[in-house]
Amino acid sequence: MLAKKTSKNQITLPKEAVQKFPGIDYFEVSVEGNKIELRPVKVGSAGASLEKIRKKIEDLGLTEKDVKDAVQWARKKG
């Protein structure tokens, strides 16, 4: 399979390759030596990430006061 880079540094992936990853719209790009590697990535919804953060905060026992105190501490001029 062959892909050509455009003048805007874009590459269209061959249909045969993309069909192997149904439902995937994003790829992690890395460079290994003289190779460009693409790894499929599923991006979750913002709501799902927010729920994970809320669960983590709850598990840690943090309160709104803890957050306010931390923000106030971080904003201190030293």
Name 19's bridge partners.
none
Whether residue 48 is predicted with pLDDT greater than 80 in this model: the reply is no
User: What is the model's pLDDT at position 21?
Assistant: 94
Q: Which residues contact 5 (CB under 8 A, 6 or more apart)?
A: 11
What is the SS3 assignment for 40?
Answer: strand
Q: Say which DSSP state 16 is in.
A: H
**pTM score:** 0.51
The answer to whether 5 touches 11, Cβ cutoff 8 Å, is: yes
Q: Which tens digit of pLDDT belongs to each residue from 7-40?
A: 999 999 999 999 999 989 999 999 999 999 999 9
Q: Which tens digit of pLDDT belongs to each residue from 60-71?
A: 999 999 989 999
